[in-house]
Amino acid sequence: PPHQFTPMAALPEYANQTISLMAPSKTFNIAGLHNAAAVIPNPKWKQTFDRALKNFHLNSGNIFAITGFTAAYQHGASWLDELLVLLKANCQLAVRMLNEFCGVKVRQPEGTYLLWLDFRSFNLEPQRIMEVLVEQGRIALSDGRSFGRQGSGFFRMNIGCPQWMVREGIERIQRSVKYLAEITNAD
């Protein structure tokens, strides 16, 4: 991939000052297992962390979750490779289809299966855009405002699904955009 994630813990000067939290939930689509891990190289910090987990009765997971966690990381590489091929194809399809018509801008994401769609060119309140998406396109996207004021006018689309769903979702957005163009030109 063109973008590579470098964890802070991989940098020797920061490793002992870092707590890395990870979970297979999104990568391997097993969020329902509710399992995660903490990697804490600093023994003092680890002891404090372990004590806090114990105080909140969070220091043990169920065997099903632990088994799923272990299996995902030990045996899930080929599945993940296939998923990454699908996500890349879905992303290319979505970006191409969205950029074919005016009004919505989208960029290639750096490391996620969520696209940020920019609807700001319509100069409408995000709530009105959401209403049009739902009523005209029969599609619900995540409102960017949940990420703060800077997210206003942006919507997130999940492309971590079969390609036919991505295509159908984009077609629904296209219907909505045609309607948005009509109502903004009428004003």
CATH class of 85-186: alpha beta
The residue to which tokens 């970006």 are assigned: 95
Where residue 187 falls among pLDDT bands split at 50, 70, 90? low
Cα 127 from Cα 135, distance rounded (Å): 12
List the one residue out of 81, 65, 80, 78 whose CA is nearest residue 30.
65
Calculate the average pLDDT of the chain.
92
State mean pLDDT over 10-34. 92
Any idea which of 43-52, 67-76, 103-112 has the lowest mean pLDDT?
103-112
95: its two tokens? 């970006």
For 23-42, the DSSP string reads -STTTTT-GGG---EEE---
Q: Are 111 and 145 in contact (CB under 8 A)?
A: no
Specify the pLDDT at position 72: 96
Cα 57 from Cα 129, distance rounded (Å): 44
In which residue ranges of the chain is CATH 3.90.1150.10 found?
85-186
